[in-house]
Structure 1
Amino acid sequence: MADGALIHRLETGTLSDPYALLGPHTDRAETIIRAFKPAADRVDVIKRKGRKPVLELTRVTDSGLFEGRIKTSALNGAYDLITHYGDTPHRAADPYAFAPNIGGLDLHLLTEGRHRHLYRVLGAQIMDRDDVSGTRFALWAPSATGVSVVGDFNGWNAVQHPMATRGGSGIWEVFIPGVADGAAYKYVIRDQSGTTGPYKADPVGFGAEIRPNSASVVRALPARHWGDSDWMQSRAPKQRRDAPISIYEVHLSSWQRDAPHCFLSYRDIAERLIPYVQNLGFTHIELMPITEHPFDGSWGYQPIGLFAPTARFGTPSDFRAFIDAFHQAGIGVLLDWVPAHFPSDEHGLAQFDGTHLYEHADPKQGFHPDWNTLIFNFGRQEVVNYLISNARFWLEEYHLDGLRVDAVASMLYRDYSREDGEWIPNADGGNQNWEAVAFLQAMNRDAYLSLDGIMTVAEESTAWPGVSQPTDNNGLGFGYKWNMGWMNDTLEYMSEDPINRRYHHHKMTFGIDYAFSENYILPLSHDEVVHGKGSLIAKMPGDEWQKFANLRAYYGFMWAHPGKKLLFMGCEFGQTGEWRADDQLSWDQAGRAPHKGVATLVGDLNAGYRATPALHELDFDPSGFEWVEGGAQADNVIAFLRWDAAKQSPLLCVCNFSPVPRHDYKLGVPMAGTWTEVLNTDAAHYGGSGVGNLGARHTVADPRHGQPHSLPVNLPPLATVWFSPKS
C-alpha cells in the first residue's frame, strides 16, 4: 500500500511530485502501477501493442486510487490504461509513465527570467513522446503548493491530473497522452495554505474559448508553409524611416459584418479587406488588439490571453492565414500590443498562484485608476521576460511586421493619473518608472536585434525625451512615436470656424518646431472618434459642403506634413456617425457623394505620397522641410516645401483654410519654370467646387519668401493644393 501521506496530498491536490506515487514503480522482479481515476469503475493495464489486459488494478481508496502488481517480465515495456466508466472503456497511455522532460537549460533560463522563447516551453505543447501523442502542460507558479490540469479530457476533475514541480524553478509540468488540438483546459492552483482559488486560464495559452467562456484551448502552432517569403525578404526597406508608411487602423469586430451580432472570420475579413486597402493605397494595416479579451467593450485593450489571437474570428491557423494573405498582397500588418495593464478577471493573471505574481501588490503601483486594471510588475525579471517573449512570439510566430505599444506614458510615470499620496516615488524621489523604462528598452533591443525588418511604435502622449531614439543613446528604442500633440492641435484648429482660425494659426504651424525631435507618425486614430468626440467630419465647421471641404483640405495638409500617416477606418470616407464598436461602419454612406469623393482623395493622397520621394525620404530630417509662408494667419494660408534626399524634386503644399478663394496668390519657389498642380482637394471629382490652376502655373521674376522666384497660384476655398516643378 502506498504511503498514506502521499495519498492524502494527492487527494487534497497538494502533491508536488505525483511521480513518487503514480505511474510505474519497478522493484527488481515486480512493477507496481498506480493510477488515480476518481470517476472510474475499473482500471486495467494492457501492453502498448497488446489486445488483452494483463492486469486489473484494485481500487485502494474511496477517492479513486487504483493499484496493482505485475511481474516486470510479464509487462515487458510500455503499457496503456483501460479505464472503464460504466460500460464505456477509454484507452490511453498512463501520464505518469512519462517523466518530466523540460530540460535543465530551459529551466535555468526560465528561473533567471532570460528565456526569450518562453512560449516554446510553457503552455500547452502538443508533442509525441515514445510514439504517444499528447500535450505537455507547463506553467510558472512558484508559490503554489499544488497545481493540476482540468479539462474536457478528465471531466474537469480538480485532482485527477496533478502536475510536478521542477525543483526550485517554480515550473510545473505534466504530459497527458491523448489530449489534442481543440481541448479546453484550465489550471487548478492551490496557494500556500492549500486553498484552491479560481480556476486559471493558461498565461501562455495559444488558444481560448469564445467569451463568456474563459478556458484556454489546446492549439497547435505548426510550422505550416508560409506563402509570404517575398514579403519577408523585402520588407525591411519598406519600414525604414525614409519609406512611405501609410497605415489603416482597423477594429476587426466592427469593420464589416454580415449580421448585427455576427463576426466575420479572419479569412473572410482578409478576403474583403485586402482589396479595399489596396484600392485606397495604404501600405500597412494596424489591428486594434486581437489578443484574447473577455470584454468586447474594452476593444481588446484589456487582454487576458496574451499569446492567443481572439477566438471571435477563428483559430490561430486562421489568423496566420490572414497575415499571410496580406503579405502576399504587399501589405504590412501591425498589431496593437498592450503590456501596460491587464484586467482583474478571476480566471486571468491576477493573484495567479495566490500571490501578486504578475502585478504589483501595492495598489499605488499595481492598479490603474483610469481603467480599473492591474499593472505588471516591471521590477520582476520573470514578468519582464514573459512580456518580451510575448512580443517576440507575435513577431516571430505570426510574421507580424511590428507592434504598436499602447499607453506607454502610463508605464513611464509612477504618478500617471494619480493625485499626491496615491503614488510611490522612485529611489531618487522622482516620478519616473525606471523599471518600466528598462523593460521597454529591453523589448525594443530584443525585437530589433533578433528580427529583421520589424518596427515598433509608441503611443506616448508626453514629452518624454528619446522615445524613438536608440537605447545606446539613452532612448527607449522605438522605431516610431505617435505625434499626439500634432493631432490635438490640428484638430482643434480645424474645428474652429474659419473666421476665428487666424487666432489659432499657431496650432497648424507649431508642430514643425518639434517635428524632427522624434520619428513621428501622424495619427488620426480611433480615440478621436469615440466617447462623445464625434466623427472627424462632425468636428468640421460649416454646412455639409464646407464640412467635407474642410476634411479634404485637412487630409491634404496631413499627407504633405512630415511624419508617417495613420487613419482610422471609416475616416477614409468621412463617416458622419461616431464609431460604434458593436456595429459595422456606415457602408451605406461609403458609396455615395460626397463620402465617395473623400475616399477617392485618400486613394490619390496615398498614391502621390508613395510616388513622391519628397513626401517621405526626409521625414525626420529638418533639411526635408522648408517654410514658404507660415505667418499668413489673416488669410488662413499655409505653404511649405518638402524636399527629397537628392534635393532636386521638391513638392509645394499650399493650404487655404478660408472659404474665400484667392487668385494669383504669390508664393516664393526655388525653381523657375512650370509647376504642375499634382493634387487639388477642391477638384470636382472629390466633391469640390473645381477651382484650380488649369493643370499648371508658371513662375515670375519676383523674389519672395526668401526664394528667387514667385509662383502665382489660385487657391480654392477650404482646400489644399500640391505643386511640383515640371522636369
Structure 2
Amino acid sequence: MLLGSDDIDALVTGRHRDPFAVLGPHRAADGRWWLRALLPGAVAVEALSHPGGRRLASFEQRDEAGLFETPLSPRHRADAPPPYRLRVQWAHGGRDLLADPYAFGPLIGEGALAAFAAGSHKRPDHVLGAHPMQAEGVAGTRFAVWAPNAQRVAVVGDFNAWDPRRHPMRLRHAAGVWELFVPHAAIGDRYKFALLDAQGRALPLKADPYALAAELRPATASVVSPRPARSLPAGRAERNQRRAPVSIYEVHLGSWQRADDGGFLGWDELAARLPAYAAELGFTHLELLPVAEHPFDGSWGYQVTGQYAPSSRFGDPAGFGRFIDACHAQGLGLLVDWVPAHFPSDAHALARFDGTALYEYADPREGFHKDWNTLIYNFARHEVKSFLVGSALHWLQDWGLDGLRVDAVASMLYRDYSRQPGEWLPNAQGGRENLEAVALLRELNTAVGSDAPGAVVAAEESTAWPGVSRPVSMGGLGFHYKWNMGWMHDTLKVFQKDPIHRRHHHNELSFSLVYAFDENFILPLSHDEVVHGKGSLINKMPGDAWQQFANLRALLGWQWTHPGKKLLFMGCEFAQRREWNFDAALDWHLLDDARHRGIQQWVRDLNRLYRERPALHARDCEAEGFEWICADDAANSVLAFLRHDGEGRSLLVALNLTPLPREGYRLGVNGPGRWREILNSDAALYGGSNLGNGLGPVAAEAVPAHGRAHSIAVLLPPLALVVFEPMEDAR
C-alpha cells in the first residue's frame, strides 16, 4: 500500500486536497494497517504503542521533504489500528512524542455545520475558530475555518514551525468548513491559516475571523485563547431599562490617560482608575470606543479585524475580564461600540478570504465604502449574518457586557449612502434600502432579546428611518435606543452662535421636542463632535473665557434636563481645551484651574440630580414626561419647561441663553405653592457669577403667565440653566 507518486508530490508541495485520505492510519486490502506522516524536518520516525510506549514500527522515509510511512505488524489486523504515538527525531537534534492529528475523526457535528450553513446557528464561534480541548484523552486545539472556495487550507503556527505542509485540514464539503484537531497545540500558541485559492495560488496568511485573542500590532497572528466563562452582571436589566437613569461616559481607552512613558495603560491600570472616576462623577454607564482587535490606531478601533477578540493593546483577554468586573463593582454598566457596517481590506484579515469576495459584497457598488476606504459585509449571506450576530452575542453573553452601540447604522440601511447616481445598485424591489441589512439588524436585536436578556443595543442612526427603536414585532428595527443626532446638530448650531443672534434660531432648540418621543433617544455629545477640526466643546462656545464656560455649563444643563438618555465624551466633563487627539492623553492638568474644576463639579451635580429625581429620567422616552412652559420667548432667548416622573412629581427648568440677567421673569406654574431652586449653573461653585434664587423659596402668585393662572417671579442668571422643585417634593 505504498503511496503513489502523485499523492506524494501533492503532499510534499502542500497541495493535497484530501490529506485524511492519505495521512494517518489506513487499512490495506490484505487487512494490515499502514501509518503515514508528513513531518518536514524529521530524520527518523517511530510508532509507539499508547499507553505503554512499546515500539510498533519504524517508518521509512519516502521523500526527503519529510514523508514517512510504514506497515504495522501483520498481527494488527483488527477493525481499528492500535492507539499509537509518533516519536520524532528532528534534524536539529530535538525529539518529540506526538499524537497523530490524522488519527482523529471529525469533531464537529453535522447538525452544527448544517445550522451554520443555513444561518440558523446563533453562536458559530462555538463551531469555528480555535478551541482548546481534549480528544480521546489528548490535549490539543480544534481549529475550524469557513473557506468554501479554497483548494486547500492548512493551519500554521508556533506548534508546527509555521509550515503549511504539516497540518492541512479536512474539508467538510456541505458547509465549506475546514477542520483539524492539532494535538499539543495549546493556549498561547500563535496561529494563522494558509489557503490556496480555487486556482491553487497561495494567499497571504490569514488571521482567524473567530479568534478570541490576537498578537499586538503590527504583528497579525491569532492566539489560541480560552473562551471567557463569566456570570452575567447582576442588575443588568434594571440599569438599562427605559425608565432608569442612563448617563454614559464615552471613552477612548488609548487616550483617556497614558502611562508615564507615554504608552497605553494596561487593563488592570485602567480598572484601577477609570471605573472609579466615572462612578464618582455620577455616570451610570461607561461606553468604550471599539475594543475589538484592529490593526490601525488611527481608526480609533472602527476598522475591526477581530470581531471576537479584545484588543491586545491593553493586555490579554483575562485583563479585559478584570476591567469589566471593576466596572460592575462600581455599579457601572459597560457598553462597547460594535462595528458591523464595514471592515478594513488588510490582506491578513477578511478581504477576499478564500480568494473570493467571501465576507464582502463582490460588486464595489455594494461592497466598498468610499468614506472609510473599507469593505462592506455581504449582509445577504447566511454565514456572514451568523458571524456578526454571533459576535454581538459573544460580547454580551460570554463577557457579560451590558450593551452594544452599533456604529454607522445609516450606512447599512441605505444602498446609496454617500454615493452618487450610478455608484450604487438598487435592491430587488428597485429601492435604495438595503433589505438584507435591515433583516440582519432585526435578527440581531431579536437574538439579543432572547439570548442576552437585560442587555441593550443602541443605534448610531442619523436619518429619519422610522421605528429604529420600535420592537421587531411592531415593524421596527428592534434597537433599545437611538442616538438623537438631530438634537445634537441643532443644539450645537445654536450654542455656537453669538447670543445676540440666538433669537433668530430659537426654534431650532425647541424643534427637538416635536420628535423627542418618536424613538427611545440618547442625547450624544460624542467623540465625533470634538475631532477633525470641529474643535472642543469649550472652544465651540462664543464670547470671552467667562462666557465660554457659562455657555458650556448651559449646554450641559440643557442636555441633562432635556428628555432622553445622556452621553458625554471624555474630557468634555472638565472643558478640555484641545481638540481630541487619539494619540495623546487628555489634558488633566486643566483641573488645576478652578474654572475647569467648576465644569467637572457641574457634571457631577447634574448626574446626581438626574439620578436622584425620577422627574428627570423616569419618562425620558415618553411624552407625559415633558411639558412646555415657555417655548416661544425668542426675544429673550428663554426656554422653560416641566419634567414629570408620571407619579405626580415635577421639576421646573429654565434656560437663559443671553448674557443679560432676567430679573423678575415670570414662569407660569400649574397652581399655588412654593418652589425652591435646587440647581443653578451660575453658582460660584461652578465658576459663575452667583446670581440666582437661593435665598429662600419662591411663592407662586395668582398672576397669569404662559397660559396659566399662577406664576413665580424668578431671577434667570446670564447664560445659565436653573432647576426649581416644588417644596412639597423637597428632599
Interval of TM-score (by shorter of Structure 1 and Structure 2): over 0.9
Q: Please tell me whether the aligned partners of residues 341 and 374 of structure 1 are also in contact (alpha carbons under 8 angstroms).
A: yes
> Per-residue displacement from partner, 1:477-504 (whole Å, max 9, x unpaired)?
1000000010010001000011111111
Structure 1 residues 291, 73: closer, same or farther in 2, change over 3 A?
farther
Deviation at 1:89, TM superposition (A): 0.8
- Return the alpha-carbon distance in structure 1 between the equivalents of residues 271 and 672 of structure 2: 48
Deviation at 1:29, TM superposition (A): 6.0
Match of 2:691 in 1: 691
> Per-residue displacement from partner, 1:453-495 (whole Å, max 9, x unpaired)?
0111000011111111111221111000000010010001000
Deviating above 6 A after TM superposition, structure 1's stretches of 4 or more consecutive aligned residues are: none
Match of 2:395 in 1: 394
Superposed, 1:340-359 pairs within 5 Å as 340-359=341-360
Superposed, 1:441-456 pairs within 5 Å as 441-456=442-457
Which stretch shows the higher mean deviation, 524-533 or 686-695? 686-695
AA aligned opposite 1:687: G
- Return the alpha-carbon distance in structure 2 between the equivalents of residues 55 and 373 of structure 1: 55
Match of 1:561 in 2: 562
> Per-residue displacement from partner, 1:606-646 (whole Å, max 9, x unpaired)?
11001111111111211211111111111111100011111
> Per-residue displacement from partner, 1:489-547 (whole Å, max 9, x unpaired)?
00010000111111111121110011011110000000000000010000001111110
AA aligned opposite 2:139: S
Structure 1 residues 264, 53: closer, same or farther in 2, change over 3 A?
farther
Q: Paired residue for 2:109, among 88, 97, 103?
A: 103
- Return the alpha-carbon distance in structure 1 between the equivalents of residues 188 and 705 of structure 2: 71
Aligned-pair Cα RMSD in Å: 1.5
Match of 2:207 in 1: 201
AA aligned opposite 1:329: Q
Structure 1 residues 260, 536: closer, same or farther in 2, change over 3 A?
farther
Which stretch shows the higher mean deviation, 574-583 or 318-327? 318-327
Match of 1:182 in 2: 188
Match of 2:71 in 1: 69
> Per-residue displacement from partner, 1:110-162 (whole Å, max 9, x unpaired)?
12121111111100000011221110100100111100011111111122110
Which stretch shows the higher mean deviation, 36-45 or 661-670? 36-45
Q: Please tell me whether the aligned partners of residues 404 and 457 of structure 2 are also in contact (alpha carbons under 8 angstroms).
A: yes
Deviation at 1:405, TM superposition (A): 0.4
- Return the alpha-carbon distance in structure 2 between the equivalents of residues 448 and 492 of structure 1: 37
Match of 2:58 in 1: 56
Which stretch shows the higher mean deviation, 592-601 or 696-705? 696-705
Q: What TM-score, normalized to structure 2?
A: 0.97
Deviation at 1:701, TM superposition (A): 1.3
1:548 and 2:549 are equivalent in the alignment: yes
Match of 1:360 in 2: 361
Superposed, 1:272-283 pairs within 5 Å as 272-283=273-284
Deviation at 1:95, TM superposition (A): 1.1
Matched residue SS, 1:376: coil
Q: Paired residue for 2:157, among 130, 151, 154?
A: 151
Match of 1:94 in 2: 100
Superposed, 1:407-422 pairs within 5 Å as 407-422=408-423
- Return the alpha-carbon distance in structure 1 between the equivalents of residues 654 and 37 of structure 2: 80
- Return the alpha-carbon distance in structure 2 between the equivalents of residues 407 and 619 of structure 1: 24
Q: Please tell me whether the aligned partners of residues 24 and 34 of structure 1 are also in contact (alpha carbons under 8 angstroms).
A: yes
Superposed, 1:523-542 pairs within 5 Å as 523-542=524-543
AA aligned opposite 1:665: Y
Match of 1:369 in 2: 370
- Return the alpha-carbon distance in structure 1 between the equivalents of residues 576 and 652 of structure 2: 29
Matched residue SS, 1:594: helix
Match of 2:725 in 1: 724
Match of 2:46 in 1: 44
Matched residue SS, 2:658: coil
Superposed, 1:118-129 pairs within 5 Å as 118-129=124-135
- Return the alpha-carbon distance in structure 1 between the equivalents of residues 260 and 414 of structure 2: 43
AA aligned opposite 2:65: S
Which stretch shows the higher mean deviation, 58-67 or 288-297? 58-67
Q: Paired residue for 2:173, among 167, 178, 184?
A: 167
- Return the alpha-carbon distance in structure 1 between the equivalents of residues 151 and 15 of structure 2: 5
Deviation at 1:72, TM superposition (A): 6.9
Matched residue SS, 1:431: coil
Match of 2:325 in 1: 324
Structure 1 residues 207, 83: closer, same or farther in 2, change over 3 A?
farther
Matched residue SS, 1:703: coil
> Per-residue displacement from partner, 1:263-291 (whole Å, max 9, x unpaired)?
11112101101110111000001110011
Matched residue SS, 1:60: strand
Deviation at 1:51, TM superposition (A): 4.8
Deviation at 1:445, TM superposition (A): 0.7
Match of 1:651 in 2: 651
Match of 1:522 in 2: 523
AA aligned opposite 1:574: A
Which stretch shows the higher mean deviation, 659-668 or 16-25? 16-25
Match of 1:312 in 2: 313
AA aligned opposite 1:42: A
Superposed, 1:579-590 pairs within 5 Å as 579-590=580-591
Deviation at 1:98, TM superposition (A): 1.3
Which stretch shows the higher mean deviation, 51-60 or 258-267? 51-60
Matched residue SS, 2:420: coil
- Return the alpha-carbon distance in structure 2 between the equivalents of residues 490 and 86 of structure 1: 70
Q: Please tell me whether the aligned partners of residues 115 and 121 of structure 2 are also in contact (alpha carbons under 8 angstroms).
A: yes
- Return the alpha-carbon distance in structure 2 between the equivalents of residues 654 and 132 of structure 1: 71
Deviation at 1:73, TM superposition (A): 5.4
Matched residue SS, 1:275: helix
Match of 2:677 in 1: 677
- Return the alpha-carbon distance in structure 2 between the equivalents of residues 134 and 215 of structure 1: 18
Deviation at 1:320, TM superposition (A): 1.4
Structure 1 residues 85, 675: closer, same or farther in 2, change over 3 A?
farther
Deviation at 1:452, TM superposition (A): 1.2
Matched residue SS, 1:46: strand
- Return the alpha-carbon distance in structure 2 between the equivalents of residues 521 and 318 of structure 1: 30
Q: Please tell me whether the aligned partners of residues 249 and 569 of structure 1 are also in contact (alpha carbons under 8 angstroms).
A: yes
Deviation at 1:315, TM superposition (A): 1.3
Q: What TM-score, normalized to structure 1?
A: 0.97
Q: Please tell me whether the aligned partners of residues 117 and 382 of structure 2 are also in contact (alpha carbons under 8 angstroms).
A: no
Structure 1 residues 60, 574: closer, same or farther in 2, change over 3 A?
same
Q: Please tell me whether the aligned partners of residues 150 and 156 of structure 1 are also in contact (alpha carbons under 8 angstroms).
A: yes
Match of 2:258 in 1: 257
- Sequence identity of aligned pairs in percent? 52
Q: Please tell me whether the aligned partners of residues 19 and 99 of structure 1 are also in contact (alpha carbons under 8 angstroms).
A: no
Match of 1:667 in 2: 667
Matched residue SS, 1:156: coil
Unaligned regions of 5+ residues in structure 2, if any? none
AA aligned opposite 1:31: W
- Return the alpha-carbon distance in structure 2 between the equivalents of residues 76 and 192 of structure 1: 37
> Per-residue displacement from partner, 1:289-311 (whole Å, max 9, x unpaired)?
01100000000000001111000
Q: Please tell me whether the aligned partners of residues 253 and 288 of structure 2 are also in contact (alpha carbons under 8 angstroms).
A: yes
AA aligned opposite 2:135: R
Structure 1 residues 546, 260: closer, same or farther in 2, change over 3 A?
farther
Q: Please tell me whether the aligned partners of residues 155 and 191 of structure 2 are also in contact (alpha carbons under 8 angstroms).
A: yes
Length, aligned pairs only: 721
Q: Please tell me whether the aligned partners of residues 29 and 73 of structure 1 are also in contact (alpha carbons under 8 angstroms).
A: no
Structure 1 residues 235, 72: closer, same or farther in 2, change over 3 A?
farther
Matched residue SS, 1:510: helix
Matched residue SS, 1:552: helix
1:638 and 2:644 are equivalent in the alignment: no
Match of 2:501 in 1: 500
Deviation at 1:13, TM superposition (A): 3.0
Match of 2:222 in 1: 216
Q: Please tell me whether the aligned partners of residues 14 and 147 of structure 1 are also in contact (alpha carbons under 8 angstroms).
A: no
Q: Please tell me whether the aligned partners of residues 56 and 73 of structure 2 are also in contact (alpha carbons under 8 angstroms).
A: no
Q: Please tell me whether the aligned partners of residues 229 and 399 of structure 2 are also in contact (alpha carbons under 8 angstroms).
A: no
Which stretch shows the higher mean deviation, 85-94 or 513-522? 85-94
- Return the alpha-carbon distance in structure 2 between the equivalents of residues 263 and 53 of structure 1: 54
